Amino acid sequence: MNSAALPYSSTKRLFCVEDFIGFGERYGIDYRFPHLADNASRNSPVLHGDVEEMTLSSGISLTHSDVRVLQPYETTSRHSSPLYMLVVLEGGVTLTLNGQEYQVLPGMAFSSQLSEQQAMSARHDANSTLKTLSFGVYPNNADRESLLETLLQEWQRLQAPTFIWPVPGFVLIGIQYAQQKGLSAVSRKLLLEGLMYQLLGHGLNQCQPQTTRGALPQCGEHARLEHIRRMLEQSPEQEYTLAQLATQAAMSSGSLRTKFRQAYGKTVFDYLRDCRLELARCYLLEGHSVQQAAWMSGYQHATNFSTAFRRRYGISPSDVRRHG
């Protein structure tokens, strides 16, 4: 897989240029090290950490990486996959596909189709920690499960779109649980199999045309705006910038700012604030402290959170927690 397609390592180890040369030949990936001369030592370290690769019974090829990047490097995929997905758990990955740049942040997933005509490039910066889960399906695999084959047919029916979407929090928790030590190999493989199907299901749902009573099916620009709105609504605790959101919406920052307000009657960050406050209100009603509710909904400072909460609801967070 593109982001970190390396063989399983049971303990943390160094991956050097020589390792990457072998990986490239095996997985159909071109690697480039911009800060190293062409005649650099093949023993120059590039990564340090753990990388695990497995093929699940469904036919999904899965790679889990938990590494620290020591040497900046770039990759370009030369393999084909009718469905490829990358989930970023920590750090960030910058991908380029068909001239379009995508920034995949923690808690987000990137979905696409890869081929010789759709070669994907990735850039990894030095001194960064990267935890990712990437998986794909290789073409002409006769051992696929019927459910996976049905999902692939639906993906093709939707014309295999390329997009970024927020992974539901409970799925991220499931991924974290599946990575803990102490699980048997069989248990872990079963958990990962189920999580991959959940990710596929949510990804397909994200790219389905949504219709509402009296509304036209979403397409084009409106679909991209709705993608941003749903991302803010489903994962308000994440950190966002206007530039990053604009990139995902394939618009300029100014266009996103104007068109989002026209479509939803609020600015992007007013909408994000309301989503965060509503999430925090739910946490308070569940019995979490004011500080916990603030942090889990994306606020760094409880004072700022309390001021915004009182302005929005006319009551303090502590009063909501007490009465709730």
Question: How far, in Å, CA of 194 to CA of 188, rounded?
Answer: 10
What is the rounded end-to-end Cα distance, in angstroms, of the chain? 47
pTM of the model: 0.62
- The answer for residues whose C-beta is within 8 angstroms of residue 87's C-beta and 6 or more apart is 108, 109, 132, 133, 134, 167, 175, 199
Q: What is the pLDDT of residue 268?
A: 94
Which residues in 172-193 are b (16+ Cβ under 10 Å) and which e? bebbeebbeeeeeeeebbebbb
**Radius of gyration, alpha carbons of the chain:** 21
Q: What is the pLDDT of residue 258?
A: 92
141-176 confidence digits (pLDDT tens):
666 778 888 888 888 887 878 888 778 777 878 888
Q: What is the pLDDT of residue 208?
A: 66
Query: Tokens 């909460």 — which residue?
Result: 309
Q: What residues pair up with 104 in beta bridges, in sequence order?
A: 93
Q: What is the pLDDT of residue 271?
A: 92
Question: How far, in Å, CA of 188 to CA of 177, rounded?
Answer: 9
241-261 confidence digits (pLDDT tens):
898 888 878 888 898 999 998
Low-confidence ranges of the chain (pLDDT < 70): 1-11, 38-40, 140-143, 208-220, 323-324
Phi, psi of 57, rounded to the nearest 5 degrees? -65, -25
